[in-house]
Amino acid sequence: MAFEKTPGWLDWYAGPSRPQFTLPAGAVDAHCHVFGPGEEFPFAPERKYTPCDASKNDLFVLRDRLGFSRNVIVQATCHGADNRAMLDAIAYSDGRARGVATVKPGTPNDEIARLHAGGVRGVRFNFVKRLVDVLPRDGLRQVAEQIAPLGWHIVIYFEAEELPELRDFFLDLPVPLVVDHMGRPDVSLDPEGPQFEGFLDLMRAKPDVWCKVTCPERLSRTGPPALGGEQAAYRDVVPFARRVVEEFPDRVLWGTDWPHPNLTDHMPDDGLLVDFIPHIAPTPAQQQALLVDNPMRLYWPEES
């Protein structure tokens, strides 16, 4: 089936630079997606956007170019709860990818077991209204209870303003939590102000709340560096990410977010995104934890 992209859609950047920062051996890109290809894996009827294709092959070429060893592929909302494109990518990765699925309430246990055998280790609960029709909490709770015996976790995606209302629901879930993109702080605010403190308090409340210190390109107001400019890329995001890495070095993850859905002002150079890492995790010990040890513990515990 041929799909027409959402008007104004920005395609992923096909010529990323080679990063200057050398990733530690065994680094994991712990947040990325595949889109279709739509001809093979049609986008879901209930989707809120229609992307360009971003295939498993394109993803693995990027992995190798940037110097990553492994990927965690997060089910993108444009595929709804049809996890086939993600599972196909994992199957093709030769053990070098794991996945986070979308699972609807009422999914039978044998389907969950099939996802586990296919490399899935978590589900994503999405509360971002421009991306999904948010599901009722009793259904989500049911999914959480169903996946708990498998040792899976829940990736939660929400807007910072929504956290106060969601906090109790999150803290009551019976599995580890992984927060996408630092809970999407407004980085024009004070990194030591109440909004970001509220997020850090969520992490302080339970020892198994993790955080992806990802998506500077999505959160930044200062943006990428101007050509020939002196300023660091996405510098306004740095103090936020550094606070998380410094306080919770063993509970942070990093990923490219390739192919960067729904960006409207620019498409990042993934090589530059990798070069952002030492700004938020300056020491080799922090980098080893962020890029290798932490994601391995969560996604490949049998090898870590």
> Rounded to whole angstroms, how far apart are CA atoms 183 and 200?
10
Which residues are annotated as catalytic?
257
Q: Which is nearer to ligand 0GY, 88 or 246 (CB)?
A: 88
DSSP class of residue 289 equals I
Identify whether the C-beta of residue 166 lies closer than 8 Å to the C-beta of residue 173: no
Q: Which is nearer to ligand 0GY, 78 or 144 (CB)?
A: 78
Residue 50 touching ligand 0GY (CB under 6 A): no
Crossing angle of helices 56-66/270-280, nearest 10°? 50
Residue 76 touching ligand 0GY (CB under 6 A): yes
CB of 255 to ligand 0GY, least distance (A): 9
SS3 154: strand
> Rounded to whole angstroms, how far apart are CA atoms 111 and 120?
11
Could you write out the three-class secondary structure of 99-147?
EEECCCCCCCHHHHHHHHHCCEEEEEEECCCCCCCCCCHHHHHHHHHHH
Residue 262 touching ligand 0GY (CB under 6 A): yes
Identify whether the C-beta of residue 271 lies closer than 8 Å to the C-beta of residue 17: yes
Q: Which is nearer to ligand 0GY, 77 or 294 (CB)?
A: 77
Q: Which is nearer to ligand 0GY, 77 or 146 (CB)?
A: 77
Neighbours of 264 (CB within 10 A): 8
Residue 69 touching ligand 0GY (CB under 6 A): no
- Pick from 55, 71, 77, 107 the residue near ligand 0GY by CB under 6 A: 77
Residue 257 touching ligand 0GY (CB under 6 A): yes
CB of 260 to ligand 0GY, least distance (A): 7
- Pick from 261, 268, 271, 295 the residue near ligand 0GY by CB under 6 A: 261
Identify whether the C-beta of residue 91 lies closer than 8 Å to the C-beta of residue 41: no
- Pick from 44, 52, 81, 131 the residue near ligand 0GY by CB under 6 A: 131
Binding mask 27-46 for ligand 0GY (x = CB under 6 A): ------x-------------
| Contacting residues toward ligand 0GY, per CB under 6 A | 33, 76-78, 131, 180, 257, 261-262
